Structure 1
Amino acid sequence: MIEIRQFGWPDHEAVVGLWASAGRDVVPRDELAAKLQRDPQLFLVAVADQTVVGVVLGTYDGRRGWILRLAVDPTRRRQGIASGLIGELEARFAALDCPRVNLLVLPEDTGALRFWQALGYLPCPDVLCSKPMTTPEIRIT
C-alpha cells in the first residue's frame, strides 16, 4: 500500500537520495525551507513500508501551479506511484483554485513526454528563458 502525504523534514535525507538515484538535481535545503514557507502542502512524498519511494515538488504563485522534481525509486517504477503523486498534487492545486499547471520536460526525454501527455499535459511551443540570480559583487571605489 502506498501512502501519499505532505513532506516533513524527517523525509529530507530519503528525498535527497531518491532525487540523486533518479538523476534529478537536488534542491538545496535552504531553498526547500523557503519553499515550505509558502505552500508546504504541495511538496509530497509517496511512502511504502515506511520508505520514501516517490516525491514531487509543486509550487503555486497565485497564478500558475508548477510541477518540479518528480522522481520515483527506479526499482518501484511502473507501479502507479508517479500518477498517484500527480493526482494528489492536482487535487491540492484545485483546492487552491489554481487555473493552470505547468511543467518542463527536456525535449529528448520522450518517455517523460509520453507520461505527461497520458495525464493530459500538452506540449506548448514556448521558449524557456532563464537567468541565475546570483548575489552581485559589491565594489568599493
Structure 2
Amino acid sequence: MHIRPFQPADEAAVIDLWQRCELTRPWNDPQQDIRRKLGVQPELFLVGEVDGQLVASAMAGFDGHRGWVNYLAVCPTQRRRGLGRQLMTAVEQRLEALGCPKLNLQVRDGNQAVLAFYERLGYRIEPLVSLGKRLIADD
C-alpha cells in the first residue's frame, strides 16, 4: 500500500470510504470534518492506495500533550491484509517524530472487532470515561 497525505481531489473517495466503513454520523458533516482538518496539521491526514485506488484513511493530530487518531478506515474488501496496521504504523511514526509521547483514540461502545484490532497493535483499554461537548454544530 502506498501511504501519502490527503489531497483535496481525494475528498469524494474518502467520504465514500468512510460511509462504506460506517464511520459517518448525522451530527458530523464529513466535508466539514475534512475542511477543518486541512486547516490544522494537514500532513497528518493520510490515505492509502492499492493499485491507484484509495482504500484507507487516517486523520491524526497532536496537541503537544497527546496524539489522536480519527477516521481510521480500510475498505471492507481490503481488510485482513495488514493495511490498517500499515496505516497506524505510519501515523505512529509521524506522531513520534513530532515528540508525541502517547496516542489516544476512541472506539464506539460495542465495536468488539475494532477493539480487538487495536489490542493486537498494542493498545489497551484504559479506565476512563470519554466526555464531549459540541461547540459548533454541523448543519
Answer yes or no: same fold by TM over 0.5.
yes
Is 1:17 aligned with 2:19? no
Q: Once the 2 structures are TM-superposed, how far is the Cα of residue 27 of structure 1 from its aligned partner?
A: 4.8
Q: Once the 2 structures are TM-superposed, how far is the Cα of residue 16 of structure 1 from its aligned partner?
A: 0.4
Contact map agreement 2:15 2:30 (CA 8 A) in 1:
no
Counterpart selection for 2:78 from 76, 79, 87:
76
Q: Distance in 2 between matches of 1:20 and 1:106?
A: 15
- Shift of the 55–27 alpha-carbon distance from structure 1 to 2, 3 Å rule, reads farther
Is 1:115 aligned with 2:117? yes
> 1:53-64 maps to which residues of 2 (within 5 A)?
53-64=55-66
Q: Distance in 2 between matches of 1:31 and 1:108?
A: 24
1:31 corresponds in structure 2 to 33
SS in 2 for 1:78: coil
Tell me which structure has the larger Cα radius of gyration: 1
For 1:15-35, what per-residue CA distance to the aligned partner results, in whole angstroms no more than 9, with x for missing partners?
000000110116532332232
**Matching residue's letter, 1:90:** E
For 1:16-68, what per-residue CA distance to the aligned partner results, in whole angstroms no more than 9, with x for missing partners?
00000110116532332232222111111010121100111111111110010
Larger CA deviation: 20-29 vs 7-16: 20-29
Q: Distance in 1 between matches of 2:13 and 2:94?
A: 23
2:134 corresponds in structure 1 to 132
For 1:115-136, what per-residue CA distance to the aligned partner results, in whole angstroms no more than 9, with x for missing partners?
101111110111111111147x
Counterpart selection for 2:46 from 37, 41, 44:
44
Q: Distance in 2 between matches of 1:110 and 1:46?
A: 24
Matched pairs, number:
134
Question: Percent of counterpart pairs with the same letter?
Answer: 37
**Matching residue's letter, 2:130:** L
1:139 corresponds in structure 2 to none
Q: Distance in 2 between matches of 1:75 and 1:125?
A: 33
Q: Distance in 1 between matches of 2:45 and 2:109?
A: 25
Structure 1: runs of 5 or more not aligned: 136-141
**Matching residue's letter, 2:6:** F
Structure 2: runs of 5 or more not aligned: none
